[in-house]
Amino acid sequence: MTTNVRTREGGPVKHRSASRRSHGEAPFRIVSTAAGILLLAIMAAIAVFLISEALPALRANEADFFTERTWNPNSERVFGIAALAFGTVFSSALALVIATPIAIGVALFISHYAPRRLAAPLGYLIDLLAAVPSVVYGLWGVAFLVPLLRTPSQWLNEHLGWFPLFAGEGIIGGKTMLAGAIVLAIMILPIIAAISREVFLQAPKMNEEAALALGATRWEMIKMAVLPFGRPGVISAAMLGLGRAMGETIAVALIFPATFDITFEILTPHANSIAANIANGFGEANDIGRGALIASGLVLFVITLLVNMGARMIINRRKEYARAGA
């Protein structure tokens, strides 16, 4: 992303008007600083209020929040995050496995394969994928993708059923983990592709030329001079994509059938996630139910925060590395 190429030149200039006091100076500085601090405060407030509003429900819970699979906070006061957290991580991991190779291919296409003239407009086309609202993907998933996947799902189950992901009895196809993961993959693809594209374009031209001068083919040149250079960037892009997938709500809320079990079967209608459960359960939740949903939101917040912070740290380290190498 362009934010990664911030330069030092644009840095602040030392204020040297000590002798020229101006009436507006202090208030302006204070307002600017306050805005920045407000941002930090919002982040802190999110954690604080999610915790404080979740606590009553967690106290009323008669099951262990972290190991319980079912979610019945409204009637029985029994609820746990286990199945939902599993579904969140599993669906996002699947989406990542689907999206990352395609995103790397797209990024390479834009940076090293497409004709110069077409590269920018084609890149914009991929960015458009990110502009489609989540709820539209959900609608598309339910109306188009779910029916489309039915026959291939049955084929996979019949012929490759020994493979745990494709196993399962009873209904095959429909609103499955696979359908949700594919929709998630489409949604996170543009962000992974955009960041990867930027780091691939930053790969030093002189190293690419060195590889070509050694008699490398285009692919060998990319393997020698582009991919190793871009690896940290691609990894953090994938992590950002993972964070995005885990927090994605409405599309999967429409697709996932809201079951509460832990299974690796991606072709049977068993799938759910924390975010989908919040969207589907909020409307009919009572006080305890809402507290329980807030508690699950807190878990989601913490997981995505960790993933995002990890990704940002990799990016920041790479920035220093790139600067030192320049």
Using CB under 8 A, pick the residue from 81, 83, 106, 199 that binds another protein.
106
DSSP-derived secondary structure letter, 14? P
Burial of 97-112, coded b for 16+ CB within 10 Å and e otherwise, reads ebbbeebbebbbbbbb
β-bridge partners, 162 = none
Residues 108-127, interacting with another protein (CB under 8 A): 108-110, 113-114, 116, 122, 125-126
| C-beta of 101 vs 164, nearer to another protein | 101
In whole angstroms, give the CA distance from residue 275 to residue 280.
9
Residues 149-178, interacting with another protein (CB under 8 A): none
For residues 180 and 271, the answer to whether their CB atoms sit within 8 Å is yes
For residues 229 and 204, the answer to whether their CB atoms sit within 8 Å is yes
Using CB under 8 A, pick the residue from 91, 157, 176, 249 that binds another protein.
249
Using CB under 8 A, pick the residue from 71, 86, 166, 229 that binds another protein.
229
Site track for another protein across 124-153, x = CB under 8 A:
-xx-xx-xxxxxxxxxx-xxx---------
In whole angstroms, give the CA distance from residue 310 to residue 307.
5
Write out the H or E segment, with its range, that includes residue 66.
Answer: none
| C-beta of 122 vs 165, nearer to another protein | 122
Stretch that binds another protein, among 33-41, 64-72, 89-97, 168-176 (CB under 8 A): 33-41
Residues 256-315, interacting with another protein (CB under 8 A): 275, 278-279, 282-283, 290, 293-294, 297, 300-301, 304-305, 307-309, 311-312
Write out the H or E segment, with its range, that includes residue 78.
Answer: strand 78-79
326 binds another protein (CB under 8 A): no
